[in-house]
Structure 1
């Protein structure tokens, strides 16, 4: 319950777990039959969607997943990694505050400017390639399911449906990025709110049935194209992207007064860092001890997704 309520499907309450997850734990032996990964990703997409609203002040959802994704694919934005040879990969930033104290004082303006200055080689498209991650670290059971990582399908978790738009991230799977098709319209299913009977079968509801069938047939929707080098010319796509989203690409202009406030706070933070240097040696010693523990510990593999869609529960 702690894992469900904090890491996988956390909400802004921070203190409870929604009742809809309880029936999934009834048959604990077969709990691995559900696609927990796709459901977790659906909740993250929904959280990002809500956070994009102008009147939203906070974000919930599986933020550990979001941070790990950003830090793996944009390493120049991440804290100093500790590179443990263990799974999950996010372990490399366990207790990152000890190893990279200055990172805590970076402000929003810093990251906006860093995004604006992003260069081609700074984004890691194929993050799990053998030249990036030792193949012995990620369990073989997870790699066995990699064929459906690129499936362009709806992600379904109870009332929550979000679109897995892999056709807009083809380079992530080693393909050439083309101008994508029109955005998928989830219609009323995207705004569905969980009400009514607690044992509702979403696979038979009018708003969800077609999307659940689409997910069930996900092996038919994987990207199919001969892999091409990531350096392949993308002029057509980039021209389309800039013409469609160009006005929203410059984030530094949105910083405004935050720059001055951020610099002032950073100066204060530097003073705190100087005062905290006395703890650095002790923290480094703790890091060494933690590394020794991590080398002896390998987290259990996450069960791979199976054919049964979670939304049918």
Structure 2
């Protein structure tokens, strides 16, 4: 009877969850998403700091490594409702907002939309990289429309920062690494889609895009996909999600082993 009622309500995912968890009346177990592809943060040469500030990506470059908190991520996913794009708690609803993105990542949240065509041909990818970096990745350095992060790291290490052109190329490599890790990371954590490269052509115009809005939209999509019963892994800006949870819900934050203690006179 329960399944019939749910079917009339078109709750297909709920029915699939019941079928997944029940086997002849016995509980099989719950679902635990994987989110363990974090990589070390990419540092940058201080010579390029001024150029990095001009693009609006300086503050997000200061984000350190956040080890995966699988239990917290899964608990938040259980409370996420795709219909409202918010977390449903017993005390009410809450969600990650553009203000949170601006405070945590320091990204611009107004400006031009991050949009454009998505091409899949290697020839177009090669031409774009040759135009912006003077070199192009081999097909072995690509995975479909994704360029491996190792290629950008190797190129970044080879660049000699002797003039503005080389520094701009260096900063573009660093931004693409940010895209592939803390902003628009995929489930592999090893590549970044080259569709973002055309938006970096005009170096002075990079800051005009609303990168914070695109990052938040990517997080929302990742959370919505993670609510599906057949999803086994979550991607997206999980560092943003964890930092938001620890700031807005401080009782969930980890307790430091050596908390800093200040005397009352110095507070």
Query: TM-score higher than 0.5 here?
Result: no
What's the TM-score, normalizing by structure 2? 0.30
Higher strand share: 2
What's the TM-score, normalizing by structure 1? 0.26
Higher RCO (CA 8 Å, separation ≥ 6 residues): 1
